Amino acid sequence: MKDRSTPNLRRLRERAELLKKLRLFFDQRGFLEVQPPCLTSDCVIDAYIDPLRVDIREFQLGSHHGDGSYYLQTSPEAAMKRMLAAGSPSIYSLGPVFRAGEQGEQHNLEFTMLEWYEVDADVEQGIATLGALACEILNFEHVDVQSYRQVFRDQCGLDPVDVPLADLRRYTHAIDPSLASSIPADRDDLLDHILSHVIQPTLGHGKPVILRDYPLSQAALAKPSTRDDKCAARFELFVAGVELANGYDELRDPDVLIERFQSCNEKRKEAGRRPLPIESALVDAMRRGLPQCAGVALGVDRLLTVQLGEKTISSVMPFTIATV
C-alpha cells in the first residue's frame, strides 16, 4: 500500500516564496485580496468542467434549508463577479478550487488558483497585466502575443474558423487516428485536440506566449473581439508548452450569459454530464450591472512547476488526491 503519511516538503519554501511574490505583484497595483467561498449553491457552467456536489442534507442545518446541492467551486469567478457588481474595486483571490475527475501530471482534484479582475480594463490591458506578471515571476523581459487564427495558419496550414469541418477531421485523423475516431464531429473539440497535440507543445519556449482572439464558439465568458468579428476577446498564457492562464475581456450581458450557459448544458447532456443550474446569483448580479473589467485565472501549481523546471504538479504540492 502506498505510504500516505508523509507530505511532500521538497518545494515548500519555493511555494511560499511564489505566493508572496504573487500577492506583492497585485498589492503594489492597488488590487484588494478577497476570500470567496469555496462552497456555494451555484457555480459557473462549463461544458467540460465538473464541480464536486455536496448534498445540502450533509450540512445538518435542519429541514428549513430544504433539499438540493451545493458545489465546491471550480473557480472563484461567480463570487468575485458578485463582489464587482456590488461595487468592489479591482480584486484578486489566491486559494483552493476543485474539479471532479481531474488527476494526472498537470491536474489534481484540488489545486491552487490565482484569479483577478481589473476594473475598467479591456482585453489589451488584461493581456498587458498577465504579460507583466509572467515576466516578473519567471524572469523574462518580454512576452510574445500571437493570434489563435494566425498560429493555426502558420503551424497547420489551415484557418480554424473557416476551414471545412471535413478537412478539420482529416487533419485530426492524421495526427492520431485512434484518438480522432473517439472525438465527436464538433469543430471546437477537434480544434482543442490540434491545439493540445500540435501547437501547445511548441509555445512558450524562450519566452512566454499569450495566444489571443479565440474562435467565438470558444468565447466562454468573454466578449466578442473588436479586432475580429469571428473571434472572442479571450487570451491564454503558455510557457514551456504548458497552459498557465486563461483570461477574458469579461462578458457583461446577462442575456448572452444565459444563452451560453444553455449551450454549455446542451453539450454537457450530449456528453453524459449532469446539467447545472442556469439561474444563479451570478446571473442576478450581472442583471444589476457588472463593471467593465478584464479577468484572468492562473494555475499556481503549474506556474511553480514551470518556474522550477519540474514536470508534474505533484512534485510541488505538499498533498495530492493520491496522498490525502
- What pLDDT, on a 0 to 100 scale, did the predictor assign at position 1? 42
Task: Specify the pTM.
Answer: 0.94
Q: In this structure, what C-alpha cell is assigned to residue 261?
A: 450557459
pLDDT digits (tens, 9 = 90+) for 288-297: 999 999 999 9
- What pLDDT, on a 0 to 100 scale, did the predictor assign at position 310? 95
The domains of the chain are located at 12-143+207-315
User: Does the pLDDT at position 315 exceed 80?
Assistant: yes
pLDDT digits (tens, 9 = 90+) for 251-269: 999 999 999 999 999 989 9
Q: Which spans in the chain are helix H? A: 12-27, 77-85, 123-138, 148-156, 165-175, 177-182, 187-194, 254-270, 281-288, 300-308
pLDDT digits (tens, 9 = 90+) for 13-55: 999 999 999 999 999 999 999 999 999 988 899 998 999 999 9
More confident site: 63 or 273: 273
Q: How far apart are CA 179 and CA 181, in angstroms?
A: 5
Q: What is the mean pLDDT of the chain?
A: 93
- The CATH T-level fold of domain 12-143+207-315 is BirA Bifunctional Protein; domain 2 (3.30.930)
- What pLDDT, on a 0 to 100 scale, did the predictor assign at position 66? 63
pLDDT digits (tens, 9 = 90+) for 57-94: 888 887 666 668 899 999 999 999 999 999 999 999 99
Q: How far apart are CA 279 and CA 260, in angstroms?
A: 12
The residue-averaged pLDDT of 273-299 equals 94
